[in-house]
Amino acid sequence: MLTFCNRLSKSSILASNFRCSSKSLASGSGSFVCTAKTGAVHPEVSFFSRTSRQWNSFPLICFPDNYNLQKFKCNVNRHLLLTSSFPFIFYTFFNHHIPFLFSYFLSLSLYNLLRTSDTPDLLGRGIPPIKLISQNHNNSNINVFIFEEFLSDNECDNLRRVHDMHVHLMTKEDPILCFDSVKTLQLHLKSAGKDYIEVSPLDFTTDTKCVNQTFSSLLKKWLKANWSYSTAFYPGENYFSKMYEQRVKQAMGLHPENGGKFQIISYPKGIGYKKHTDCIENSSDKRDRMATVIVYLDTVEKGGETRFPELGISVRPRKGRALVWNNMDRDGNCDSMSAHVANSVSNGKKYILQRWYYYQSFYSLGKRPPPTEKPKKRLVSQARVSCDEYTHGSCRWDDEWNHDHLIQYHENKFIKI
């Protein structure tokens, strides 16, 4: 069953109400034509329930079809309902630099952890989303929705175990630290009480934004490993990625082909992320992060909220809860109102599953990048810590070496394919 939604009003990407008239319902298939009713809080489409064997009304978030901006396209296919017994095809979770046997044995462990994952209905376990109302700007282009119990307890637990196991194995060696600029490095040194140390571009490894191993180990000690931890996997690398992106597609209308990699991120006590937007403001490049989807993999005892200062919205991390919002307006412009903060964790530990969806798709989107040759003197299975612009960013430990640390990549990033 396909649902095609007529063009939404320019004032809203997410908030419209769709009433669907059906054809060929007796055969359990057919097309649905949706017309928009403005002013409604939640959209609606019809959805076939495999438990009651009947058509039910269910909310759906609609985002623009980036290949045809004249329509907003929302697909629902009841044949995509999945079973929990479906096995992994293959799992290549780790960076290409890790030896084959190491990856193989870890793949077996990952399979055992996730193969028993129960699979609820694709539409977020049949629970309607909640639209969060902005307290500061009622006419904002940014819309924020919550889906409760979007992932089951078992799925959340297994994803956390996979992440923790991978981080444990890769933290045996000190990471290499990379900074977006010399100024950011200087500010981090100042915050650590080491502002008397002079640094320059000569302290960075040739053609990279990373310092050498010796300096990295010193910085880890001085900065007290004050960062979050991110592990990544890519579409098609495992069964969960396929199941999850279909669940997001059905519940939120976000197309898998516009999605990037999947990140599991953990925030230890005292760690958060400063105010930032997920898209690049004042950029003409439409290959940017149009929407963000995160799922909290555990309930945080205190702190760790996702807060939107400009909207007056704050969301507490609750196990299985999904949070989705748009970063760009309907015309593909980054909206500063989407700025958000990950509050520091006061008690406990925060885990999220995050995926960005892009306004325009491009060839390399969602594909694992080939390993980089630089810096050459890094150890096997050694992680990287990337520190973004100091005022609006934070440091994050990363298990993969993509191209973000290469100077040439940033010089040519607007001609990427």
Domain shared by 110 and 67, yes or no: no
Per-residue pLDDT of the chain (417 residues; tens, 9 = 90+): 222 232 222 223 333 333 333 333 233 333 333 333 333 333 322 222 233 333 233 333 333 333 232 332 333 332 222 222 222 323 333 444 443 333 433 444 444 444 433 433 434 455 789 999 888 776 789 999 999 999 999 999 999 999 999 999 999 999 999 999 999 999 999 999 999 999 999 999 999 999 999 999 999 999 999 999 999 999 999 999 999 999 999 999 999 999 999 999 999 999 999 999 999 999 999 999 999 999 999 999 999 999 999 999 999 999 999 999 999 999 999 999 999 999 999 999 999 999 999 999 999 999 999 888 899 888 878 999 999 999 988 999 999 998 999 988 877 765 555
- CA dist 198 and 200 (Å) reads 7
Domain shared by 115 and 60, yes or no: no
Domain shared by 262 and 402, yes or no: yes
Domain shared by 244 and 337, yes or no: yes
Structure tokens at 155: 């799925």
Is 222 domain-assigned?
A: no
Is 181 domain-assigned?
A: no
Is 409 domain-assigned?
A: yes
Domain boundary among 28, 50, 80: 80
In this structure, the number of other CB atoms found within 10 A of the CB of residue 348 comes to: 17
Specify the amino acid at residue 28: G
Domain shared by 165 and 119, yes or no: yes
Domain shared by 370 and 398, yes or no: yes
Per-residue pLDDT, 140: 84
Nearest residue to 182 (alpha-carbon basis) of 164, 167, 201, 160: 201
Domain shared by 292 and 387, yes or no: yes
Is 91 domain-assigned?
A: no
- CA dist 188 and 177 (Å) reads 12
Domain shared by 151 and 72, yes or no: no
Contacts of 187 (CB under 8 A, 6+ apart): 390
Domain shared by 67 and 136, yes or no: no
Per-residue pLDDT, 113: 45
Is 211 domain-assigned?
A: no
Is 204 domain-assigned?
A: no
Q: What letters, b where the CB count within 10 A reaches 16 and e where it falls short, cover 394-404?
A: bbbbbbbbbbb
Domain boundary among 49, 80, 111: 80
Domain boundary among 15, 48, 80: 80
Domain shared by 322 and 411, yes or no: yes
Domain shared by 312 and 390, yes or no: yes
Is 350 domain-assigned?
A: yes
In this structure, the number of other CB atoms found within 10 A of the CB of residue 161 comes to: 15
- CA dist 409 and 73 (Å) reads 33
Q: What values do phi and psi take at 167, rounded to 5?
A: -65, -40
What's the burial of 228, exposed, middle or buried (CB within 10 Å: 0-12/13-18/19+)? buried
- CA dist 323 and 124 (Å) reads 12
- Specify the number of domains making up the chain: 2
- Domain span at residue 16? 2-80
Domain shared by 236 and 128, yes or no: yes
Nearest residue to 11 (alpha-carbon basis) of 128, 129, 141, 103: 141
Contact 221, 29 (CB under 8 A): no
